[in-house]
Homo-oligomer: A and B are copies of this chain.
Amino acid sequence: MSQPDMIKELLLAQDQDGKLSEKQVKILEAAVEIFSEKGYAATSTSEIAKKAGVAEGTIFRHYKTKKDLLMSIVTPTLTKVLAPFMARDFVKKVFENDHNSFEDFIRLLIKNRYEFAKKNLPIIKIFLQEIAFHEEIREQYKAIFNEQVKKKFFAIIEHFQEKGEITDLPPTTVIRLSITTVIGHLFTRFIVLPNQDWDDEAEIERTIEYIMKGLRKDER
């Protein structure tokens, strides 16, 4: 039920000394579970305390406010959602090897994000819900995206456009269409119809094929 890896990573992100109090783990686990089920606003701190098996006051020893607790969950996730594009050598790797194709790139992306979504589902749900209501989260996200991700993504798209692998639509549009399709797959897979029988291997390949065909340069 609980996903200890996920929580451990959250804790590492929060407490660089690695001093993870046992109570703190319990609080985070409880918060993630309830926030993702009922939403931040509809969750009470006393509920979290009860599920975590700690006193109400203990939460506030570790997190100044309820919102602090939320942010301590959401902020590390923020970066991890975009993580693949933030690695320093990410673009370099894509470029340097001449026989890397756009398809390889998309396949890498889709599989990587599939694993990430699978592992971090509850936190991602919280993130998706709360970004709509908290300006700070939006700001943080935009900052990271604009400063660290945007340029790299553009570079990649333009690289493959120059190589003639994909259509010459405006890069913004290419990015929108491809990301949208990737996210749409994950969303359907994990949130809309998580209980349906999925042949994940096949579905991923079909999604890749759809993107590739959709973005293929018209040979004319």
Q: How far is the CA of A188 from the CA of B214 in the complex (A)?
A: 18
Tell me which residues from 111 to 138 in chain A have a Cβ below 8 Å from any Cβ of chain B. Answer: 125, 129, 132-133
Which segment, of A5-13, A18-26, A34-42, A101-109, faces chain B? A34-42
Chain A residues with CB under 8 Å of chain B are 37-39, 41-42, 125, 129, 132-133, 169, 173, 176-177, 180-181, 183-185, 187-188, 203, 206-207, 210-211, 213-216
Which residues on B sit within 8 Å (CB–CB) of A38? 133
CA of A210 to CA of B38 in the docked complex: distance in angstroms? Answer: 37
Given contact pairs A184-B184, A214-B211, A173 touches B129 in the complex (Cβ within 8 A) = no
Can you list 20 residue pairs at the A/B interface with Cβ under 8 Å? A38-B133, A39-B39, A39-B132, A41-B42, A42-B133, A129-B129, A129-B132, A169-B206, A173-B203, A176-B184, A177-B206, A177-B210, A180-B184, A180-B185, A181-B184, A183-B184, A210-B214, A213-B214, A213-B215, A214-B214
Given A184-B180, A214-B211, CB of A206 within 8 Å of CB of B173? yes
Q: Contact at B180–A188, with CB atoms within 8 Å?
A: yes
Across the interface, which residues of B come within 8 angstroms of A177, CB to CB?
Answer: 181, 184, 206-207, 210
Per the bound structure, the CA–CA distance linking A34 and B184 in Å amounts to 28
Nearest Cβ on chain B to A33's Cβ, whole angstroms: 14
Shortest C-beta distance, A66 to chain B (Å), equals 12
CA distance A39 to B41 in the complex (A): 8
Q: How far is the CB of A135 from chain B (nearest CB, A)?
A: 11
Chain B residues positioned under 8 Å from A207 (CB to CB): 177
